[in-house]
Amino acid sequence: MKRKLPSKRILLICIILISMVKLQAQRHTVTGSVTSAEDGAPLPGVSVMAQGALSGTTTDNKGNYSLSVPNGKAKIVFSSTGFINQTISVSGKSAINLALTRDTKQLSEVVVTALGITKQKKAVGFATQELAKKDLTEARDVNVANYLTGKIAGVQVSLSAGGVGGSSKVIIRGISSLVGENQPLYVVDGVPIDNSKYNEKTDIYGSGRDYGDGIGNINPQDIESINVLKGPNATALWGSRGSNGVILITTKSGKAGRGVAVEVNSNVTIDKINLIPKVQNKYATGYEDLNFYGDIVNIDGVDYSTLPSWHFESDGPPMDGRLVVDPFVYPGTPPRTLKLLPQPADNVRDFYKTGVVTNNSVALTGGSEKSSARLSINNTTINGIIPNHAENQQSITLRALTNVTDKLSFEGKVNYIHKNADNPPGLGGSANNNVVRDLAAMGRYVPLPFLKEYYEKTGQAGSWPGISLNPYYLVNELKNNAVRDRFISFISMKYQFTSWLSLMARSGLDAYSERRLEKVPVSESPFNSGSLTDETYLTKESNNDVLLTASKDNIAKNFNAAVSVGASLLKTSHRIQGWNGIDFKVPGIYDISNLSNVTPYYSFVQREMQSAYFSGDLGYKEFLFLTITGRNDWSSVLGVGNFSFFYPSVSSSFIFTEAFKLQSKVLTFGKVRASYAQAGNDGASYLTKSGYFLGSTPFNGQSLAFQSNNIPLFDLKNELKKSVEFGAELRLFNDRVGLDVTYYNSNTNNQIVPVTISVASGYTTKIVNAGNIENKGIEIALRATPVQLKSGFRWDMSFNYAHNQSKVTELAPGLNSFQLYNTGQSNVIEARVGERFGNIVGYKYKRAPDGQIVVNPNDGSYMREDTLSILGNVTPKWVGGLNNTIYYKGFSLNFLIDFVQGNQINSDTRYRMVANGTAAFTTKYREHSEPLPGVIETKDANGNVTGYTPNTILVDGQTAWSYRAWGQIGEEFVMNGSFVMLREVVLGYSLQPSFLKKTPFKSMRFSVVGRNLWYIEEHMKGMGISPETNLNTKAGATGVEVFSMPTTRSYGLNLNFTF
């Protein structure tokens, strides 16, 4: 505590903080500095530990350290990623300076693998990929999961349709479960956290909104590293939860012996709308033919037509300045005329605001020789682009570690999160819920400023041509709120019996409550009696585990071995309690007592899993490694007698450059690896029993009971994924280039499928364990430093590419296809035996043999085929990213481009805007002056097609466009979902240490950041919508676009300093 502190308050906090951990008396102190053997530059961040100790210290920015060791005979181990470890005997010295040599063979690099076991990277027999620290803090996104976009081979991240603050959907190596979980398990500091979503929007109708997922609560500033374990081969030790990969998040902790440090990070970004649906500006609302106009009103002796308020289609008269009855008046205003002209082309864009996201955090770290702690406080505020959408999240994290003795240590963490979300945007296809839908279908002459004024003056929505609900009324009156209070915590104890044997016991708890309120006020026009929903979601996940680890080098000549044995107990519960009431007695009082009709509801879902596992590693001569793991799970959701499941894995790595002494300047390091593993997915609770349910409300005093409509599977088994993986890792040109290639092939059997059966059986579905989805693919990660100059100029690049093919090889007996999602138009997303997973199935245009579209001879509209076809597929063929960073002096410039290719999107926005005639391209054909390009069939007396003649039937707009929607020509609404996006640009500058010397600061860095900046290529330009969002995180809803929030570009500033 010799360091001069900047303020009394911080000093006070530090004292409190440090007093929480036990201070120990000093014994023998060693100080010194560590440099790089290559160029003599100081090496910061080098781990300095007494041999056998659990913790030590690290070097500071100047490479200096100070370490207390038990006695003068101790040995000190110096280690740093990318350098060869050195062990130095203290031999009574009080100063040790040394130079570390760069480890070009990467023999000492470590990675965190399953159950938090740290392994030498060279010994790992499967693919893992770590997210670099710099990727985590600067180019901010509110949801940590979005940081993975484009950076990890084989990982696809999709944004929520609800925009900022919403959930992320992360899919690793393709979708493998029909109805089960497909997202990875998130493990924070060794303890799984809950990432479930409640009441997800699952269809295009009705109301729904995205209140965010579980991973979104983690404060990015607390994260030290993220490691992605991509499949069963890496995650078999998580057994029933491991089949979709695991995302391991390690949070920051204090550094023992490092004194007190304060880190401040401040980030502000603004969100500007990027893409917005492209609308036409030529025609007003109304219909073709006789219903073109509504009633005739006489104004000053002249008859004018009205544009009826119940006309939702924009197939009306041209907006050419003609006079009509003005609908935009207050009640009681004498009839007047309106010159029918379009509103400014940008008026919809103007409805939205500029979003602002700020994130500020302060972290204090402190450490004595034996103990350390880190306290961080974070505040994030979101002001969305939709008026009144505001969220804020505060989080406080305290993480502390203390070595009670050389052998015994305790560690604990408490993370409290408070999140308040006001009015996250409504999702789906309901115009009474989703303002995006209203604006996409709104008549183009509707003056938004008048609607705003009308709402503000009358408090009513009013009734307007082409608009279901006044968007200003919607965003100001239909209020929603969700408040989440969450604790993520763990406490662990580690006892080091000997230098090679240790035991860890840990207890983790993730518990949160979320209260959601939804208010619909009483309104007169249009009439609504109002409603109020109040519900509380209680989630609890507790994990208790123990792990005994033994690790010994040279157990026999040239053999090293490590064994871990462990057990764990997992309990989760999800409780929903709430009520929904309608019909307010008195407007404006939002209380249960003010409702005429209240329906309570309650649900409780729980599960338990007990597990025992082991992991064994064997190494031979630093070049051949073998790992065998096994885990047995007993899961309560499975059938009686089938609770128990065993998941084995075996992996091996062989460093051929070491074995055959092949190292050279060109080939620095070479490794091949292979593995086989099984992992599972244990499905939902309550699938093994059936019976009867009582209706929640008695009728005339009588209880009502009904049989459940599901035939349960009494002996339900786990979904089981078996995966084979081969890979190779090469480092070339003195480690300037690194290449990692992986091939995998997995089969997910025993899919838990609710098969639709004949309802005449008395049941609608039957649960079966059947089917298989095969995923195979290749992942390539290339890393290079193309330029590195003495002047300090360096250019690093990394490129990743992943190709995945999901194929449905089998479904239940007698079941040929399984509907994953019904888009609500004619198209469905399905899994069909022998086909790629996620086909969009619907009707194609009817075409002549030469490819021309066949026209209906009766009205001149396009015809469709009679049978369903595959119109596309929602799963991408390949995803990847290219990341570049250029360093020069204190500057760095980073830009990330990511891409998704070979997938299609089913667009409900396109459907609606074609049906309603609001899309920009629907102005063609409106003047009855041209026919649709195509042919008309000629037929003989028997109705057989004998030939084709060119179509000459002149059509109106409705026939040309709306008929495609009404006629269910699904092909029209399937769009290419491929894109290339400039995802991130970060320009940063770190102040030079020489300059900082004169200040209290240890480091200071400014960056200018940009996110989601530019679609370099995308195929939905004509629509002005983004291919990136999907309606929910379920497997079937991938590639389902339903009036997503407009995508935004984010620009921001980041400031980080420590002292």
Partner 1 sequence: MKKYNKIIKNIGVLVLMIMLANSCTKKFERLNTQASLLSEDLVKPEFLLSGVQYSAGTGLDARNDGDYCGMTVRQDNAPFVDEFDDAAWYTTYTSLTNNLAAIIRKTEADPDLVNKKAIARILKVWIFSQATDIYGDIPYFDANKVPDEANTSPKYDTQQSIYEDFFKELKEAAAELDPAKESYGSADLYYGGDVTKWKKFANSLRLRLALRVRYVDPQMAQTNMSDLQDSDLMTSRSDDALIYTANDIDAHKNGSYIDLINRPPQLDYVDHQLVGKAILDALVGNSDRSHPLDPRTKVLTDSARLDGRTIVPPHAPFGFRAQPLLGVVPVENKYPYGSSSVSIYSLFWYVPVIERPVFRASEVYFALAEAALFNLRAGDADAYYKKGIEAGVIQVQDFYNKTKDQVGEVFDLVGPDYARGSTLNSFLAYKEMKQSEIDAFLASPTTTLTGTDEEKLEQIINQKMIVLYPNTLEGWSEWRRTGYPRVLVAPNEASTLHGVSPRRKHYPNGERLVNSNSFNEAIGRMGGKDDLLTRLWWDANTAAPHAHPGMVETRATPWK
Residues 63-92 that bind partner 1 (CB under 8 A): none
CA distance 751 to 946: 48
Shortest Cβ distance from residue 203 to partner 1 (Å)? 18
Contact pattern for partner 1 over residues 47 through 66, marking x by CB under 8 A:
--------------------
* φ and ψ of 145, to 5 deg: -60, -30
Listed ranges 116-124, 370-378, 434-442, 687-695: which one lies at the site for partner 1 (CB under 8 A): 687-695
- Is 407 one of the binding residues for partner 1 (CB under 8 A)? yes
Positions in 759-798 near partner 1 (CB under 8 A): 759-764, 766
Number of residues that bind partner 1 (CB under 8 A): 72
Nearer to partner 1, 594 or 690 (CB): 690
Minimum distance from residue 730 beta carbon to partner 1 (Å): 43
What phi and psi, each to the nearest 5 degrees, are found at residue 660? Answer: -105, 10
The two structure tokens encoding residue 670: 């070479």
Tell me the window of 436-444, 700-708, 743-751, 917-925 that interacts with partner 1 (CB under 8 A): 700-708
> Which DSSP letter does residue 104 get?
T
Q: How far apart are CA 824 and CA 202, in angstroms?
A: 11
Question: SS3 for 233?
Answer: helix
Shortest gap between Cβ of 961 and partner 1 (angstroms)? 23
| 278/1022 Cα distance (integer angstroms) | 7
Tokens 């043999």, located at residue = 849
Residue 491: strand, helix, or coil? strand
Q: Contact region for partner 1 (CB under 8 A) — 47-55, 603-611, 944-952, 1036-1044?
A: 603-611
Stretch that binds partner 1, among 147-155, 595-603, 865-873, 950-958 (CB under 8 A): 595-603
Asked if 685 is part of the footprint of partner 1 (rule: CB under 8 A), the reply reads yes
Return the SS3 of 344.
coil
CB 147 within 8 A of CB 220: yes
Residue 577 binds partner 1 (CB under 8 A): no
Q: Which stretch binds partner 1 (CB under 8 A): 149-157, 255-263, 688-696, 964-972?
A: 688-696
> Bridge-partner residues for 568, per DSSP?
545, 611
The answer to whether 17 and 374 are in contact (CB under 8 A) is no
| Nearest to partner 1 of 633, 1028 (CB atom) | 633
Burial 336-346 (b: 16+ CB within 10 A, else e): eebebebbeee
Contact between residue 845 and residue 863 where contact means Cβ atoms under 8 Å apart: yes
Q: Pattern of binders to partner 1 over 464-503, x per CB under 8 A?
A: -----------------------------x-x-------x
What minimum distance in Å lies between the beta carbon of 240 and partner 1? 13
User: Per rule CB under 8 A, is residue 607 in the interface with partner 1?
Assistant: yes
Q: Could you say which residues in the range 733-762 bind partner 1, by CB under 8 A?
A: 756-762
Determine the residue type at 488. I
Contact with partner 1 (CB under 8 A): which of 41, 589, 640, 666? Answer: 640
Q: Judged by CB, which is closer to partner 1: 167, or 528?
A: 528
Q: How far is the CB of 37 from partner 1 (least distance, A)?
A: 41
Site for partner 1 in 556-575 (CB under 8 A): 567-569
Q: Which is nearer to partner 1, 824 or 931 (CB)?
A: 824
Q: Which stretch binds partner 1 (CB under 8 A): 203-211, 604-612, 846-854, 972-980?
A: 604-612
Residue 453 touches partner 1, criterion: CB under 8 A: no
- Nearest 5°: the CA angle 867, 869, 872 is 160
Among 200, 203, 453, 583, binds partner 1 (CB under 8 A): 583
Q: What is residue 473's three-state secondary structure?
A: helix
In whole angstroms, give the CA distance from residue 806 to residue 622: 37
Q: CB of 962 within 8 A of CB of 914?
A: yes
Query: How many residues would you count in the chain?
Result: 1059
Contact call for residues 411 and 405 (beta carbons, < 8 A): no
Decide: is 604 part of the binding site for partner 1 (CB under 8 A): yes
Residue placing its CB nearer to partner 1 in the complex, 16 or 704: 704
Question: Does residue number 23 form part of the binding site for partner 1 (CB under 8 A)?
Answer: no
Residue 545 near partner 1 by CB under 8 A: yes
Site for partner 1 in 511-530 (CB under 8 A): 525-529
Cβ-based neighbour number of residue 212 at 10 Å? 25
Question: Within 13 Å of residue 37, how many CA atoms lie on the same side as its CB?
Answer: 13
Instruction: At 142, list the tokens.
Output: 């509110």
Give min distance, CB of 514 to partner 1, in A: 21
Q: Which of residues 315-334 bind partner 1 (CB under 8 A)?
A: none
Q: Does 296 bind partner 1 (CB under 8 A)?
A: no
158 neighbors 214 (Cβ within 8 angstroms): no
Which 3-state string (H, E, C) describes 953-1007? Answer: CECCHHHHHHHHHHCCCHHHHEEECCEEEEEEEEEEEECCHHHHCCCCCCEEEEE
Check: CB of residue 678 under 8 Å from CB of residue 232: yes
Q: Is the dihedral of CA 916, 920, 922, 927 positive or negative?
A: positive
- Token reading at 697: 């409300």
Count of beta carbons in the 10 Å neighbourhood of residue 376: 22
Asked if 643 touches partner 1 (CB under 8 A), the answer is yes
Write out the binding residues for partner 1, residues 154-183 only, by CB under 8 A. none
- 81, 89, 644, 952: which one contacts partner 1 (CB under 8 A)? 644
Shortest Å distance, C-beta 335 to partner 1: 17
- In the complex with partner 1, which residue's Cβ is closer, 46 or 520? 520
Question: Quick one: 203 or 583, whose CB is closer to partner 1?
Answer: 583
Looking at the Cβ atoms of 536 and 597, the one nearer to partner 1 is 597
Nearer to partner 1 by Cβ, of 405 and 536: the residue is: 405
Q: Which stretch binds partner 1 (CB under 8 A): 90-98, 191-199, 711-719, 829-837?
A: 711-719
